[in-house]
A = this chain, B = another copy of it.
Amino acid sequence: TGEQWLSSRNWPEGSVGRLMEQAPAAFSGEARVATVLEELRPVASRSLVTYVFVVDDSHHLTGVVTFREMVFADPDQRLEEIMVPHPFSLQPETDVVVAMREVVRRHYPVYPVCDADGRLIGVVRGSVLFEEQAFEISAQAGSMVGVEKEERLSTSWGRSLRFRHPWLQLNLLATFITAAVVSAFQGTINQVVLLAVFLPVLSDQCNNTGCQALAVTLRGMTFGDLKPGQGWRLIAKEAWLGMLNGSMTGVLGGLAMYALAAHQGNPDALTLAFITWLAMAASCGIAGIVGAGVPQVLRQIGADPATASSIFLTKATDIVSLAMFLGLAAWLVVR
């Protein structure tokens, strides 16, 4: 199997094949315990043998034997008598995160890796899988705002700049859409400057509400909690939650608007307060929909569900919330 193992570098990045090591011990099912132990004695002293794998003539994996079994077996017994038959195995092309979901309840120290025909081509240590997964998961918060997986604290500033800058330029271009929305209401703001004061409040509040939904959705996808067909139910839950959160925070937002407007002698203080409350309730509901929806859409189109998700989310919530707030003001307040 040495030759096949060396070809492990040909497997796609992030796949099980990339983490594969050579399987140290494989025997025929007819081999006797005493013989196997004798053959393993020199091997076990220089490499860590955890399981003995049992294969047929064409190297198909037929069973697994632990040292514990061999200790308590009769030296004359054949491996096929004491092996666990049809053992669980991984495929080399499987994504590490998907493999993690398959092994998380198994907790074996080592997993055999078999090709599509069931031939043993290597092993993967469980701890290597877990370590890789921890690395992948820890990259998520950064991926959401355009940080590459590879970036670590030791990355040089030049490389960090090259990694992060393109996303920031993209983010800026996207904020221009938000700016265009506000720009369309310059006349409205000119008449009620107080509206400008509430733009950052509304935008920030919707973003945070949406980011909560986004983070919960991404985490659920990581652990395989989001079953097929449940996507719409999650979106509905987050819409409802966002709407509730928005209408409850909107009360404070509306009160603040009323206090400021009344203080400035604005005759429409009550209408402005109502508009603030309505815009917060509705846009936080939409923020929930976008937060739960963006990672699902990204996955559907074959992209990583976390990558730039926060960038897409904040732009969508900004555009919706500010258009709603300023649109309502243009309609109800400015005459």
Q: List residues of A whose CB falls within 8 A of some B CB.
A: 37, 41, 44, 49, 66-68, 70-72, 100, 104, 107, 109, 125-128, 130-131, 133-134, 137-142, 144-147, 151-154, 157, 160-161, 164-165, 167-169, 171-173, 175-176, 178-179, 182-183, 186, 189-190, 193-201, 203-205, 207-209, 211-212, 214-220, 222-223, 225-226, 230, 234, 237, 240-241, 244-245, 248-249, 252-253, 256, 260, 306, 310-311, 314-315, 318, 322
Using Cβ atoms and an 8 Å threshold, which residues of chain B touch A245? Answer: 161, 164-165, 168
Using Cβ atoms and an 8 Å threshold, which residues of chain B touch A225? Answer: 152-154
Q: Which 10 A-B pairs have the closest CB atoms?
A: A130-B130, A142-B215, A153-B220, A107-B127, A196-B196, A141-B141, A67-B67, A145-B211, A175-B201, A153-B225
Contact of A147 among B66, B133, B212, B311 (CB under 8 A): B212
6 examples of A-B residue contacts, CB within 8 angstroms: A107-B128, A153-B226, A153-B234, A160-B237, A183-B260, A208-B311
Most buried by B among A137, A144, A186, A244: A137
**Would A153 and B216 be within 8 Å (CB), given that A204-B314, A249-B169 are in contact?**
yes
A294 to chain B, nearest CB (A): 13
Using Cβ atoms and an 8 Å threshold, which residues of chain B touch A209? Answer: 168
**Would A256 and B179 be within 8 Å (CB), given that A134-B137, A161-B245, A203-B203 are in contact?**
yes
**Would A205 and B171 be within 8 Å (CB), given that A161-B241, A215-B145 are in contact?**
yes
Most buried by B among A146, A172, A240, A315: A172
A252–B172 CB distance below 8 A: yes
Contact of A198 among B134, B179, B240 (CB under 8 A): B179
Using Cβ atoms and an 8 Å threshold, which residues of chain B touch A237? Answer: 157, 160
Using Cβ atoms and an 8 Å threshold, which residues of chain B touch A49? Answer: 68
Q: Name the CB-closest residue of B to A234.
A: B153
B176–A256 CB distance below 8 A: yes
A41 to chain B, nearest CB (A): 6
A200 to B320, CA, bound (A): 13
Using Cβ atoms and an 8 Å threshold, which residues of chain B touch A215? Answer: 141-142, 144-145, 147
Using Cβ atoms and an 8 Å threshold, which residues of chain B touch A134? Answer: 100, 130, 133-134, 137
A173 to chain B, nearest CB (A): 8
